[in-house]
Each structure stands twice: as structure tokens, then as C-alpha cells.
Copies of this chain bind each other. A is one copy, B any other.
Amino acid sequence: MTTEARRKRASISDVARLAGVAVGTVSNVLNRPDIVAPATRARVEAAIKEMSFVPNAVARQLRVGTITTVGVVVLDIRNPFFTEVARGVEDRLALADHTLMLASSDDDPARERKYLQLFEQHGVVGLLVVPSGPDLDQLLEVQSRGVRVVLLDAPAGSSGLSSVSVDDEAGGALAMAHLIERGHTQVVMLNGSHDIRQCAARLVGARRAASAAGLDPEAAVREVQLRALDSASGVEATLALADAPDGLPSAIFCVNDLVAVGVQRALRLRGGTALLESVAIVGYDDIDIASELAVPLTSVRQPTHEMGYRAADLLLAPESAEIEQVVFAPELVVRASSAR
């Protein structure tokens, strides 16, 4: 190791010169060591160590065309849902010695576009993206240029893309059916904008379950739309419900666990543990601490890690592989919050 910072990294020809061989030979000891004579190989390896030579993957990529980088665009890496997915992706890529370039679009189409472009310029093998809107044109364009694209957490429909997603209608239905079984015939659903596909689908599912149970879907599931999908909005909406003429419902279905956390906080604020325990709550995502809340939260779990893993798997599949749309089934985890 040299003590002083080098201005430029050593190249293969520097090594060749030092070892007194041709660059092709150095390349050979790097890539097919078996075909070079032991003596020469030793000499080259010594030179490599001596110069602390690190092969330039960029030059290699330019030459051979192929590359081992995958771009991932999620809405926000701080969201545990996405970090679990990202970890699944990473774990699958590691098996293939690929690396992951990651970006958060913040659900902003402009940011998404910027990152897609950046990644494509960098020549990624493929792109895993949680689309920020319903417009898949740019993704299709990218795919038409030979970059594999897999949609994450959104069904690709008939667009011609591969995708890995979870059945959100089924999730909504699961939650609602459970509440109905527990005797609730009127639930409030704290939901996000229907521009968010998941939100719309979960409501559809909930209403479907109501119908299936012989209830009037519109009456059985009253929707309240939130500005944001965090705990603060959950608090706000719950307080508003409590202050409304109708008062609090006997059951609340939250479009995600953070909102549910807010609901719990608001209930405790308003009426202490007694009130908190008197209304049934179901969340969505089954985040880590759902089981650790004041009242452990019943929640719909999605196979996050597996989604990421599978998506990376599709991406890495041989070129010949067909477009495939994987839909995972969610699962209900019942805890105290819906025990009545």
C-alpha cells in the first residue's frame, strides 16, 4: 500500500509494463488464469499487487457491453415497506454478484423520470420501479431500448411489462371480512387518495367483502379520505370523527399501520385506554412495531422481502423469459386491536 494518494488509478497497461508482458496477457490472468503459464501468471500477479491494481469495471463494461448493475426506484426508502422490498432485491442480486443503485422518487413523476434516465444512461441491466403514477409510457420506452423493466408493487396489466405486486383488493376484503365476522356492520375506512392505486383497490376489496356478507357496501364501509398517510393524519381524522354528530364508529380500517397508530393515539388522547379498547382497528402493512403498540394491531401483511426477491429474479431471468406478472396474496395477522 502506498502512503500517498495516487493521482490516477493504475491501468492494465501499467501492470503489463511492470510485469514485462502484453496487456492481453494481464487481461488473461484476470479472466482466464488457467490458460497462462504459471511463471508468467506469478509475475503478473506480483505486479498487480505491487501497483494495487483494481480493474476498471467501466472500461470492461464498455468493451463487453454487459453489466451487473440494477436500478431500483421506490417512492421513499424510509418507508419500511420499501426497505424490506429493497432488501429482498439486494439479497437476490447478491447471488448474481450484481449491485443495486437506489433512488427515492418521493412519488414525484419528474423525479422518477430523472432517475430512470440517469440509470439508463449508466447502462443498468434492468430497472425495478414502483411507479409514481399510472403512466407507464416512459417505462415502456426504456424497455423497448433493451433494458429489462419490472414493476414493483403495481400490476402491469396489459402494458407488456413484467410486474410483482400484492393483491390489494384481496387485502381490503380480508380486513373487512374479519371485522364483519367480529360483528361490525358499519366500519369507517381511513383511506388515501384514489389516485393511489392501492388505496382505491383496498376500498373496492372492503366493499366487495361487505356485499359478499349481504351488507350494503356503501353503507357498511364509510370512507374518509386523508390528506396524508401518516400518523398525524390518523390523529386528525379520528378526532374529527369523535367530534362529529355520528360519533366514533365501532370499527376503523386504516389504509396503513401508520394511520392506525395515529388512530390509537387519538383515542387514548380522547378517552384513555377504555376508549382505545372499545373500538376495533385494523391496519395494513404489518410494520415491525404493530405487535408492540399499546394495543397490538391487527394488520394485513404483505410478503415484502419476497416481492423484492422475486422481482429481482424476474429481472435476472434469461432474455428469452416471457413477460410475467406475479401477484402475491396478502395475509391477515389478527391481534388484540380487533378483539373488541
**Chain A contacts to B: CB under 8 angstroms:** 1-9, 52, 54-59, 61-62, 67, 69, 76-78, 80, 83-84, 86-87, 90, 97, 99-104, 115, 117-123, 137, 140-141, 143-146, 231, 261, 264-265, 287-289, 292-294
Contacts and interface: CB of A to CB of B under 8 A. Distances in A.
A310 B264 CA distance: 36
Nearest to A230: B288
A291 to B, nearest CB: 8
A119 to B, nearest CB: 7
Chain B CB within 10 A, most for which of A292, A293, A294: A292
Nearest to A260: B292
A78 B69 contact: no
A122 B99 contact: yes
B69 A122 contact: yes
Given A54-B121, A55-B121, A231-B292, 7 more contacts: A5-B146, A9-B146, A78-B84, A101-B101, A101-B102, A102-B102, A264-B292
Contact of A104 (B6, B90, B101, B143): B90
Contacts of A59: 62
Contact of A144 (B2, B100, B143): B2
Contacts of A69: 101, 122
A56 B146 CA distance: 13
13 contacts: A1-B137, A2-B144, A5-B143, A5-B146, A6-B145, A52-B145, A54-B120, A56-B121, A76-B87, A83-B83, A101-B101, A293-B293, A293-B294
A158 to B, nearest CB: 14
Contact of A123 (B58, B137, B294): B58
A123 B210 CA distance: 57
A223 to B, nearest CB: 24
A77 B83 CA distance: 7
B102 A100 contact: yes
A56 B2 contact: no
A276 to B, nearest CB: 10
A294 B8 CA distance: 57
Contact of A87 (B9, B77, B146, B292): B77
A276 B67 CA distance: 55
B144 A7 contact: no
Given A77-B87, A99-B101, A144-B5, A261 B292 contact: yes
